[in-house]
Amino acid sequence: MALSIRRARRPAGIARAGVVIAGLLWAAAASASEPAGVSADDLAPSAGPPVHAIAEIGEPALAADFTHLPYADPDAPKGGTLRLGAGGTFDTLNFLPLQGVYPRSIGLIYDTLMVEAQDELSVFYPRLAESVELAEDLSWMVFTLHPAARFQDGVAVTADDVAWSYEQVMAHGQPFLRSVFADVATVEVLDASRVRFRFHTTGTMTPLVRAAQLTVLPRHWWTAEGRSLGDGTLEAPPGSGPYRLVEVDAGRRLVYERDPDYWGADLPVSRGHWNFDRITVDYYLDRDVMFEAFRGGAFDYRRSFSSRNWATGYDIPAAEDGDLLRLEVPVVDFRGMQGFFFNIRDPRFADRRVRQALTLLFNFEFVNETIMHGLYRRIDSYFPGSDYAARGLPEGLERALLEDHADALAPAVLTEPFTLPTNDGRRLSRDNLRAALALLEEAGWGLQEGRLVDRETGEPFAFEILMRTGGGLEPHAGAFVDMLEQAGIDARLRLVDPAQWQARYQDRDFEVIVFAYTFFPPPGSQLANRFAGAAAEDLGSANIIGIADPVVDALLDVVVPARDQETKIAATRALDRVLLWGYYVIPHWYNDVAWIAYWDRLGFPAVHPPFDYGYANTFGFQPTWWFDGAGDARLREAGR
């Protein structure tokens, strides 16, 4: 799928901000390594011939003899340095445990078994795995590793490294990572180059494509000298990926160099990728400081999520002279739900009426017009922009699934389309304010001298909105605080550094938090980690809201194991509808264009992929770009 690129006009304003949980999909599975030498004779049921690619839905677009991905230029020049900026900090290079903050760019040193194409939905082509065999009923798969696959210290990548990597994820990985691959039953080493994954499920590709995304770690390095993947470390292991990590300044700077002996440089999925000889990543605690550094030429590439910066921040001579350039790239980002997340463990927010009332008090139109220049759309689903999002009234199988739980649902779930409140301009609608106060009155809260108080205790309604510093959402959240004040609610912003935010998020030490769920279609076992009652009290799970609803659990029991698209879609829409009517989140906004600013020392292919452009990938930039020596020379002449 080719998408055209156009030079960015000066817009009335564009914005997207917030936390998106994205980055590396290091897989996890309930698996166990078996001794090498397990016979392949018991591979039953039978398998077809080895395949070069797998697709969750449909068929791969590229034949087995493809030479490069369509959006990569195999003749792209190599060389030069790419300078990147990153927000926040890091204190470990180990991505597995809950403790610590790791850099997304660490994925540059690693390889996965297969690579997801950015122009096909959930289609994977080989990297460490040369080929794949699948059981006819999809109950198992066997990866055959590429014979040339090597770690950066020259040690061969083996099937034992694959199985051991799974064991380490299960022993030390974050609960969310483990839950994504809960459908894996065992991992068996067949010989030095072949490893088999057995699954609890049959007839569905979802667990198979999840297994294909495993990042394989060097067992020999981690087991030497008492190292443990349960601990933080600033020592860079030898990966099998295209770059080596050669410099670490804790929390401040990372420097990567392209590995001249990278074993996979000529793979079809690599041609036209990884074109820079050197990549530097400088960290900034303050995003405004980072933006000013970019405008001053301190780094080369930036995807913007700030309407203010995109609309007005490039009125500088460098942009007028054509040295600092901008692109608008149409994208399909499966962004999931982003917004103000309630912690319903707090008795106040355990009451659905209170959550609905606060949703009524958020004037999205005001925020959009005054802060985001009117160019954003409201998120209205946990699965926005997909076939899994609830729309209109439930019909067919979706309705039947909901009717099975009609006694436990609010009548509106079956009789009314879910809609978010709207306002006619910059003022909060009086109807919305009245409706919110009525709901709060029902829940035991009332106005007393302009303050909302508990009618029994007189305790004022006050809470904190937890945010990390430099996230760019302070104006938006501040506007919400002002809106809440109209209902007599004393809300405050609580800004903490990334490490404190991570600790409080993990400990559930918040009342309302700015957060986001990513969404990787089709939905699967990761949903249980987010919404199942069993995960509500599991510190480190993704169920930060604290949802423990039997109806949600029952729908998850249909969604997760669903083997056909009709059931998967209907059950996910039903789940989406129940979650929306639960008012667990006050939704934020989204945009369908990626805003890329870059200094004219970079080049890129004519064809751009549509999925997660330069953002959801681990590295924060498109790995198909390259260094433009001619542009760099011109910038040097101009003193830039």
Residues 6+ apart with CB under 8 A from 246: 255, 256, 257
The rounded distance, in Å, linking the Cα atoms of 525 and 182 is 7
Encoded tokens for 365: 């139109």
The rounded distance, in Å, linking the Cα atoms of 67 and 308 is 42
The rounded distance, in Å, linking the Cα atoms of 616 and 185 is 29
Looking at this protein, which amino acid is placed at residue 175?
Answer: P
DSSP state of 591: -
The rounded distance, in Å, linking the Cα atoms of 335 and 333 is 5
Q: What pLDDT does residue 11 have?
A: 29
Burial, 332: exposed, middle or buried (Cβ in 10 Å; 0-12, 13-18, 19+)?
A: middle
The rounded distance, in Å, linking the Cα atoms of 496 and 493 is 10
Q: What pLDDT does residue 426 have?
A: 75
Torsion of CA 619, 621, 623, 626, to 10 degrees: -140
Q: Give pLDDT < 70 ranges for the chain.
A: 1-47, 333-334, 563, 612-619
List the domain boundaries for the chain: 6-272+604-630, 338-590
The rounded distance, in Å, linking the Cα atoms of 560 and 182 is 10
Nearest to 277 by CA among 243, 308, 250, 309: 243
CB-based burial, 197-211: b 16+ in 10 Å, e otherwise? bbbebeebbbbbbbb
Nearest to 349 by CA among 484, 506, 511: 511
CA 60, distance to chain mean position in Å, is 23
The rounded distance, in Å, linking the Cα atoms of 434 and 361 is 10
Name beta bridge partners: 186: 198
Torsion of CA 26, 30, 36, 41, to 10 degrees: -110
For 420, other C-beta atoms within 10 Å of its C-beta total: 14
The rounded distance, in Å, linking the Cα atoms of 354 and 381 is 20
Host H or E run for residue 255: strand 253-258
The fold of the 6-272+604-630 domain, in CATH, is D-Maltodextrin-Binding Protein; domain 2 (3.40.190)
Nearest to 567 by CA among 401, 337, 437: 401
Encoded tokens for 321: 């002279």
The rounded distance, in Å, linking the Cα atoms of 102 and 130 is 30
The rounded distance, in Å, linking the Cα atoms of 446 and 455 is 6
Encoded tokens for 127: 């990297």
CATH classification number, 338-590, choose in 3.40.640.10, 3.40.50.300, 3.30.200.20, 3.10.105.10: 3.10.105.10
What's the Cα-to-Cα distance from 31 to each of 171, 182, 547, rounded to whole Å? 10, 9, 28
The rounded distance, in Å, linking the Cα atoms of 280 and 248 is 10
Nearest to 386 by CA among 206, 566, 527, 521: 521
For 637, other C-beta atoms within 10 Å of its C-beta total: 8
Token pair 């003749």: residue: 75
Host H or E run for residue 166: helix 159-172
The rounded distance, in Å, linking the Cα atoms of 152 and 156 is 9
Name beta bridge partners: 244: 257
Are 134 and 51 within 8 A, CB to CB?
A: yes
Host H or E run for residue 439: helix 430-442
Region for 251 from its dihedrals, namely left if φ exceeds 0, alpha if ψ lies in -120 to 50, beta otherwise: left
The predicted model scores a pTM of 0.71
